[in-house]
Structure 1
Amino acid sequence: MSHILVVDDEPQLLRALRINLRARKYDVATADTGSAALDSAERTRPDAVLLDLGLPDLDGVEVIHRLRSRLPVPIIVLSGRSGADDKIQALDAGADDYVTKPFLMDELFARLRAVLRRPAAPAPGTRAVLGDHLIDLAACTVVRADGAEGQLRLTPTEWRILTMLLSNPGRLLPGRQILRTVWGPDHEERGNYLRVYFAGLRRKLEQDPARPRHLITEPGIGYRYEP
């Protein structure tokens, strides 16, 4: 039974989600503040988090950052904020999906099932070099190939995208294939997700993000990794 943490300060929505999750055989914990959510996540180690951004004590984006520093848990944002900037900010912070209120319960649970069935880690021993970085996909670490100290932090979704690309060097992967594998089959048309995440990966990994050498876009088709 998967354990889901629901974080929202609207009592009626919190109750509705709790009832619907339990009806679908999920174990549920709830929190109505960011601080309570972080405490609950630390204690119970949920399998996924449903998170509102408009919390009374902490902004939801800050909660995403703090969760990401502690747990590799999938996070689905539930928010009344529908602007592109809000979505990009949440995704860049480490959210795996973004659902705008009001939403259909069936759609939300389809997205929840999608994040829960994603593979947690790649096969052991998979390593690759991307520019100045040595990437260990099994250990989920990125270090400088020249031995400089410090690790680069990637979000779980960035890791899943990077794993697909680095496991297929030189191969063009259609955008829809990446979306289907990383986010689920109902996300195949959401090309804006890939634009956001590839921009973030290039900022972190490419020497010149505006002229990428390794993470290549083939407009209208897909993406590939050039060693």
Structure 2
Amino acid sequence: MKILVVDDEKLLVKGIKFNLEQDGYAVVTAFDGEEAIRLAHDESIDLILLDLMLPKVDGFTVCRTIRSFSNVPIIMVTAKSEDIDKILGLEYGADDYITKPFNIREVTARIKAILRRVNPAPKGERDKLIISGDITLDYNFRRVVINDKVIELTSKEFDLLELFMRNPGKVYTRENLLDIAWGFDYPGDVRTVDVHIRRLREKIEKNPAEPSYIKTKWGVGYYYKKD
């Protein structure tokens, strides 16, 4: 597994790189936004740890640019604790976020959790295809097709859609979805779920304002329509 670490604090990058390599990951590094975009495009990257405040090109723009050609999982790192930065990061396509200062073991745990979900289970462990209406979800290739068109989803969007499609009619609270898709010890808030649901609807629904697949149970949470 190859991880791209992007931050202009060279000592911090050195420490993160050392710890990730101790856990068996290959690590490439970038100290500005332009280099990050180039490496994400040219290298075979499995996950990106991306700082928000970067020289040349800021982290938001880097994230949005990478999302134009790749669905690689992105964890946004920020020294700011303002909610707007976290929400904007998710809006631009980040899968997760972490705020400085952080414990390196927390970073490693987040990375492992995301990569476990991205990597397909052994053959036969799960149904490979789930078909519902016009949507076909291929678990092994982590691909979603609607009316013969491949829909580009981030890793978290895919995880949420898979969960819904495997359990049609079941209502999940936002807290349920945080626990299942992000992990029981995830410190984020429920708005993280709302942002991902909105982005997912924009990609799979004909009319996101009146969704046909992912429904809202007002005052409770979300559920996937039964066929």
Please report the TM-score for the alignment, with normalisation by the length of structure 2.
0.81
User: Cα deviation per residue 1:11-39 (whole Å; 9 max; x = unaligned)?
Assistant: 12112212222233322111112221222
Determine if the alignment matches structure 1 residue 20 to structure 2 residue 19.
yes
**One-letter code of the match for 1:30?**
T
**One-letter code of the match for 1:117?**
R
**Partners of 1:44 and 1:142 in 2: CA distance:** 26
> Structure 1 regions of 5+ residues with no counterpart?
none
> Structure 2 regions of 5+ residues with no counterpart?
121-125
1:95 partner SS: coil
Compared with structure 1, are the counterparts of its residues 175 and 57 closer, same or farther at alpha carbon in structure 2 (3 Å cutoff)? same
1:182 partner SS: helix
**One-letter code of the match for 2:172?**
L
Partner of 1:126: 130
Superposition pairs of residues 83-102 of structure 1, within 5 angstroms? 83-102=82-101
Please report the TM-score for the alignment, with normalisation by the length of structure 1.
0.81
Determine if the alignment matches structure 1 residue 223 to structure 2 residue 216.
no
Superposition pairs of residues 62-101 of structure 1, within 5 angstroms? 62-101=61-100
Shift of 1:163: 1.3
Q: Among the aligned pairs, what percent are the same residue?
A: 37
1:49 partner SS: strand
Aligned residue pairs, count: 218
Shift of 1:56: 1.1
Superposition pairs of residues 157-196 of structure 1, within 5 angstroms? 157-187=156-186, 190-196=189-195
User: Cα deviation per residue 1:95-126 (whole Å; 9 max; x = unaligned)?
Assistant: 11101111122221221111111144574332
2:194 partner SS: helix
Shift of 1:201: 2.8
1:9 partner SS: coil
**One-letter code of the match for 1:127?**
I
Partner of 1:54: 53
**Partners of 2:112 and 2:99 in 1: CA distance:** 18
User: Cα deviation per residue 1:169-216 (whole Å; 9 max; x = unaligned)?
Assistant: 112234444323321221277322112212323344445545545323
Contact 1:180 / 1:188 at 8 angstroms: preserved in 2?
no
**Partners of 1:188 and 1:87 in 2: CA distance:** 12
Contact 1:179 / 1:188 at 8 angstroms: preserved in 2?
no
